[in-house]
C-alpha cells in the first residue's frame, strides 16, 4: 500500500509556546488512525499544519511522495487532503446542496462529478450523509449533529484520499455519534485514509486500530488503543489534567 503521509520533526511555535514539538509519524495508505491528547495537546495544530492553515516553524510534511510543507490550503485540497473543523464552518447564505456543490467544483471533485453533473453528485453526497431531505435550506437552521454531517459532506465533495476529522464527535448526542461513526466507517471502506482526533480516548477506542497520543506538543505513544491507554505517560498526561478516559 505504501506511505501516504510522512511527517518529520514537525514543530510549531506560537511566541514562547511550542504547540507541536518535534513530532514525527507516518500513515499508510488506507489506514484508520486516531490522534488523542488532552485539550491543548496540539492536535488541531497538527491538522492545521498538514492542511496548510498554519506554516510549521520547522520540520516537513510529505503527502503521496510530494513535499507539501507550507503549501497553501487549496493546493493541498487539490492533491487530495480534506479536513473538517472542530468548530463547524459553512457558507451561511448558501443552501446545504450548494454548500456541498462548491466542494464538488474543486478539481478532484470535478473528476468524479463530470459525468453526472455537480448538482447530482452533490445530491448523492447529501444522501450518503443523511441530509438529502434538507438540501434546499440554509445551514443556519441545522442542529449541531446535521452541521457535522454537512462538514463531512463538504469534505467528501473534494474527493479526498486522506480525510482529517477534527473532533467529529464533540457536542453530539450518543445517537448522533453513532450516525457519524457509520458514515466515517463507510468512507474508510470506500478506500479513504482516515485520520481522526478526539480528546476522549473512549470515543476512538473501538473505532481505530492504531492511535497516536500527544501531550504538550509531543508524541508520547503510538500503537493499538488498548496499549496506548495503559501507557504510563498517557495516563499521567490525562490524570494530571483531571481528565480520565471514561
Ligand atoms: N493561533 C494560535 N496562537 C497562539 N497559540 C495557539 C494558537 N493555536 C493554538 N495555540 C495553542 O497551542 C496549544 C495547542 O492547541 P491545539 O492545537 O488547539 O490543541 P488541541 O487541539 O489538542 O486541543 C494550546 O496551548 C493553544 O492555546
Ligand atoms: Mg483541537
Ligand found nearest the CA of 15: 1
Does the C-beta of 48 come closer than 6 Å to ligand 1?
Answer: no
- The cell numbers describing 1, all together, are 500500500
Query: What is the distance between the alpha carbons of residues 149 and 155, in angstroms, rounded to a whole number?
Result: 10
Q: Which residues contact 236 (CB under 8 A, 6 or more apart)?
A: none
pTM: 0.94
Residues in the chain: 246
Does the C-beta of 24 come closer than 6 Å to ligand 1?
Answer: no
pLDDT level of residue 146 (50, 70, 90 thresholds): very high
| Digit-coded pLDDT (tens) for 35-91 | 999 999 999 999 999 999 999 999 999 999 999 999 999 999 999 999 999 887 888
Q: What percent of the chain has pLDDT over 90?
A: 76
- Mean pLDDT estimate for the chain: 92
Q: In DSSP terms, which residues pair with 5 in a beta bridge? A: 27, 63
Does the C-beta of 14 come closer than 6 Å to ligand 1?
Answer: yes
Does the C-beta of 61 come closer than 6 Å to ligand 1?
Answer: no
Please give the distance, rounded to the nearest whole angstrom, from the Cα atom of residue 1 to the centre of ligand 1. 33
Does the C-beta of 21 come closer than 6 Å to ligand 1?
Answer: no
- Out of 10, 13, 14, mutate this one to test ligand 1's pocket (max ligand atoms within 8 Å of CB): namely 14
pLDDT value, residue 242: 47
Does the C-beta of 91 come closer than 6 Å to ligand 1?
Answer: no
Query: What is the distance between the alpha carbons of residues 133 and 127, in angstroms, rounded to a whole number?
Result: 8
Does the C-beta of 164 come closer than 6 Å to ligand 1?
Answer: no
Instruction: List the residue whose alpha carbon is closest to atom 27 of ligand 1.
Output: 40
Q: In DSSP terms, which residues pair with 34 in a beta bridge? A: 196, 211
Return the number of other C-beta atoms located less than 10 Å from residue 69's C-beta.
19
Domains in the chain (CATH in brackets) are 1-80+161-246 (3.40.50.300), 91-159 (no CATH)
Instruction: List the residue whose alpha carbon is closest to atom 1 of ligand 1.
Output: 14
Please give the distance, rounded to the nearest whole angstrom, from the Cα atom of residue 116 to the centre of ligand 1. 42
| Digit-coded pLDDT (tens) for 87-115 | 878 888 899 999 999 999 999 999 999 89
Is a pLDDT exceeding 70 seen at residue 191?
yes
Amino acid at each position: 500500500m505504501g506511505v501516504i503521509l510522512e511527517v518529520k520533526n514537525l514543530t510549531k511555535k506560537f511566541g514562547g509556546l511550542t504547540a507541536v514539538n518535534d513530532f514525527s509519524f507516518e500513515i499508510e495508505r488506507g489506514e484508520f488512525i486516531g490522534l488523542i491528547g488532552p485539550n491543548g495537546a496540539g492536535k488541531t495544530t497538527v491538522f492545521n499544519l498538514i492542511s496548510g492553515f498554519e506554516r510549521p516553524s520547522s520540520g516537513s510534511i510529505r503527502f503521496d511522495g510530494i513535499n507539501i510543507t507550507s503549501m497553501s490550503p487549496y493546493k493541498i485540497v487539490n492533491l487530495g487532503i480534506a479536513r473538517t473543523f472542530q468548530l463547524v464552518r459553512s457558507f451561511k447564505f448558501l443552501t446545504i446542496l450548494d454548500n456541498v456543490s462548491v466542494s464538488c467544483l474543486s478539481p478532484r471533485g470535478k473528476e468524479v462529478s463530470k459525468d453526472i453533473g455537480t448538482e447530482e453528485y452533490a445530491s448523492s453526497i447529501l444522501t450518503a450523509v443523511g441530509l438529502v431531505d434538507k438540501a434546499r435550506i440554509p445551514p443556519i437552521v441545522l442542529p449541531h449533529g446535521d452541521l457535522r454531517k454537512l462538514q463531512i459532506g463538504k469534505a467528501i465533495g473534494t474527493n479526498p484520499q486522506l480525510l482529517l476529522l477534527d473532533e467529529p464527535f464533540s457536542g453530539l448526542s450518543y445517537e448522533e455519534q453513532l450516525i457519524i461513526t457509520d458514515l466515517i466507517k463507510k468512507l474508510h471502506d470506500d478506500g479513504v485514509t482516515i485520520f481522526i482526533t478526539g480528546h476522549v480516548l473512549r470515543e476512538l477506542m473501538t473505532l481505530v486500530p492504531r492511535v497516536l497520543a500527544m501531550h504538550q506538543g509531543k508524541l508520547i505513544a503510538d500503537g493499538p488503543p488498548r496499549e496506548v491507554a495503559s501507557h504510563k505517560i498517557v495516563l499521567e498526561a490525562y490524570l494530571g489534567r483531571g481528565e480520565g478516559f471514561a
